[in-house]
Structure 1
């Protein structure tokens, strides 16, 4: 539709379909990554995702512009269609970890004694019963570790079929820990998206820059994303909440110092580039850490009440909520930034974002269990 659209209506419909597609791919993709990698490697994996997303975001318009100028309009969409075809092919040949594990299990012809070692029996049951009924859930009311069993985590009981269990998405939306993460994601998306709207206009008015100069200003903003894999490793070691806190703390002085960029001088331009780099670094910290924190919240809920989100788990639903929060922030960002600039100017906008970031950092400390022990792990 983008390729052959000749009306605004067709472009709007195409854009809507593109947004729906992106939402599905983003949500399911993140959930698939969490299911594939070990829990100790989620941060590194999300760092790779963040870096890949940045590479695509930066290189896409650059390559598209070159192809458009050298080969014409149709060549751009030909490349896009080819990439989509490659994407579909890769998805068709991909085997999910759960499917692969089940296939390997079906192919295994181990004797009962070996089967007992491969698949440990649930506490309080025979190993052979577990092997014969791998899908049978535990029905005890309490576990040996003192946590509630599956039945205690649901509102319905086995003998009362009239009541229905609370949907997993509702349980996630009522989770205070997840709500804090989603709120932080909204703030992060607002701050990051605001640069797309306000920064070009500000540098054009302050430094009399053209399109090339404006484009150069975004390089220090995107460059720190290439450190996302290292950030992900730090998240795995120290915890997502602590790295998120660092990101918001970095934002506080960075946004406040952006007030100093007011004159058309080389010194102010250098200061702008440096501060944009720190803003990009803080954004990379927050983006990777927040994506990891979503999976950790679901994991903790599953530990407290095994099976609370059903057979498929709640990871995909949690990342769906995260995608909604992030998209909402991207919508609100340009609106909020534009309003603040028109109301009081650039200095007011960056000051508001600075204090909001500081407020989020305080909330992260208040709502965290182990933030004060910053030197240790999770």
Structure 2
């Protein structure tokens, strides 16, 4: 460090306090703090923490409402649903706000840290809260944190790895965070049973400490460029876009630029050109003009349907496990494992497939594959259940009958196998929508650099993506509950299969590049 730099200036540079940093003295460890692996790992830990703490609290909410708040047992279910809705609603409403604000600041780190502060306060309120009002505020703060971490995190990933590598990056991240999403409810139940609230929240605070440390240390590549040039305007997304353009030019040279491709290039320029006469709201929320592209709208729909299908599993697996096989909460939670194992193992593979073959084939085939699997979920049949019993004696007798049901193990094995297969399909639905949306907005950015500015509307994009996904997670359980009660579990899955089929058609028609068999064969031969 330069000896003339005051101590406070050195600290500001090291902690990357952009309001006070003069970009004259690089922070300690700038090289590894701007390493792509460390940046992506920080985003992954942030998303993991968000989902883990969400899932960790869910199984103990009923006990908190009864023991601490004094809610009658007959009202617990409605209040649990209300608290879940408060989380989702806050995430839906704040996601576009987070995107809008993030695109107006010079670095992603500050809002990324503020999102974690919101999650920390939420966790503390849940730990000490003894009233409905406190619990509602805590769940709202959790939803705001989720909106920030998903919006800022995905935008930071795009800036770090570029659009060409976004698919496998997202696939790997989703594979990692799926572990937390699945393990948290089971772990929360076990910790509450063994050590009470202290054990549950203790592991939560420990994870928050790790997350905070990584978010504090991470440094964006554009910030590093500012230290290299001592220019606060350097290091924007233009370098990423330039690299992407070079990749496209190399690809065109390999395939041969013909008159037809030149015409297609002109057609693309016209398609993504934005008129300068935009209303005031479009100049502030610059993502709005991009919504004229049906591919972008379809990408949002595909993401929302993915969340809706996930929500139907979240809402029905525990209740069906109890009604069909008298499973307690812990055993019902274990049924989520086969659903998530596929995502964990296949997520990176599907992400690579998106980067290699495009979003259209992966999204279309994944949703088509889910159709027969969802229909087959009507195969598991119930053994005697306790759903219609009232007295403790009847409850005991039916539980004994269920345990001795000769067909029970076979039925559970069929159900778990189908959930495993469903997880494989869901693993293929994660990356296409995110990559497609990022690709479309990048094209708008490339063709309208003056309108969008250096950084583009990427945080706004992922803010809307987070909003749509959260809306799907809200709609899914409501839809599943209404259909299951109205037409039964098997018919409910048939309806969801129909939704998946329609989504596959939309993906085939509207997203991704047109399939070109000759180019695919040439790429396969050169692999």
User: What is the aligned counterpart of 1:210 among 301, 307, 328?
Assistant: 328
Task: Tell me whether 1:30 sits opposite 2:154 in the alignment.
Answer: yes
The one of 355, 363, 369 equivalent to 2:506 is 363
Q: Cα 1:148–1:203, aligned 2, differ >3 Å: closer, same or farther?
A: closer
Q: Check if 1:195 corresponds to 2:313.
A: yes
Aligned partners of 2:282 and 2:314: how far apart in 1?
A: 46
Query: Residue deviations 1:26-60, cap 9 Å, x none?
Result: 11001101100132211111012102221222233
Question: 1:51–1:226: 8 Å Cα contact kept in structure 2?
Answer: yes
Is 1:257 the equivalent of 2:400? no
Give runs of aligned pairs for residues 158-307 of structure 1, distance below 5 A: 165=283, 167-227=285-345, 228-264=347-383, 265-307=408-450
- 5+ long unaligned stretches in structure 2: 1-124, 232-238, 243-264, 384-407, 521-527
In 2 relative to 1, CA 343–353 (structure 1 residues): closer, same or farther, beyond 3 Å? same
Aligned to 1:168, what secondary structure does the other structure show? coil
Deviation of 1:166 after TM superposition, in Å, equals 6.9
Q: 1:369 to 1:169 in 2, by over 3 A?
A: closer
Q: CA deviation at 1:198?
A: 1.3
Match of residue 145 from structure 2: 21
SS in 1 for 2:429: helix
Cα distance in 2, alignment partners of residues 14 and 326 from structure 1? 21
Greater fraction helix: 2
Q: Using the alignment, how far apart are the partners of 1:372 and 1:257 within structure 2?
A: 30
Find the aligned partners of 1:198 and 1:373 in 2 and give their Cα distance. 41
Question: Does residue 480 of structure 2 align to residue 337 of structure 1?
Answer: yes
Does the residue aligned with 1:259 lie in a helix, a strand or coil? coil
Whole-angstrom distance in 2 between the partners of 1:321 and 1:30: 12
Q: How many angstroms apart in 1 are the aligned matches of 2:439 and 2:341?
A: 27
Contact 1:154 1:165 (8 Å CA) reproduced? no
Contact 2:308/2:473, CA 8 A, preserved across alignment: yes
More moved, 50-59 vs 64-73? 64-73
- CA shift, 1:105, in A, is 3.7
8 Å contact from structure 1 (residues 262, 268) kept in 2 = yes
Residue 274 of structure 1, CA deviation? 1.6
1:74 to 171, 182, 198: 198
> How many angstroms does 1:95 deviate by?
0.9
Paired with 1:188 and 1:161, the residues of 2 have a C-alpha distance of 33
Give, in whole Å, the separation in 2 of the partners of 1:4 and 1:268.
Answer: 42
Query: What is the 5 A alignment of 1:132-147?
Result: none
For residues 149 and 512 of structure 2, the distance between their equivalents in structure 1, rounded to whole angstroms, comes to 33
Shift of residue 62 of structure 1? Answer: 3.8
Structure 1 residue corresponding to 2:168, chosen from 40, 44, 48: 44
State the shift of 1:164 in Å: 7.9
Residue matched to 1:131: none
Shift of 1:171: 1.6
Which is worse superposed, 37-46 or 263-272? 263-272
Distance of 2:299 and 2:268 partners within structure 1: 26
CA–CA distance in structure 2, aligned partners of residues 374 and 351 of structure 1: 33
Once the two structures are superposed, residues 173-196 of structure 1 have per-residue CA deviations (whole angstroms, 9 ceiling, x without a partner) of 333211101111111111111111
Alignment of 1:89 onto 2:233: no
Q: Calculate the TM-score normalised by the size of structure 2.
A: 0.59
Indicate the SS of the match to 1:104: helix
Distance 1:232 1:221 in 2: 18
RMSD between aligned alpha carbons?
2.9
- Distance of 1:250 and 1:162 partners within structure 2: 44
Instruction: Report the alpha carbon displacement of residue 347 of structure 1 after superposing the two structures with TM.
Output: 1.9
- 2:350, 2:204 → 1: CA distance? 31
More deviation in 45-54 or 363-372?
Answer: 363-372
Q: Equivalent residues in 2 for 1:121-140 (5 A)?
A: none
- Mapped contact 1:153–1:308 kept (Cα < 8 A): no
Segment drifting more, 363-372 vs 187-196: 363-372
Structure 2 contact 436–512 (Cα < 8 Å) conserved = no
Normalization by structure 1: what TM-score?
0.81
More deviation, 56-65/291-300: 56-65
Rate the CA distance shift 1:162–1:357 in 2: closer, same or farther, 3 A: closer
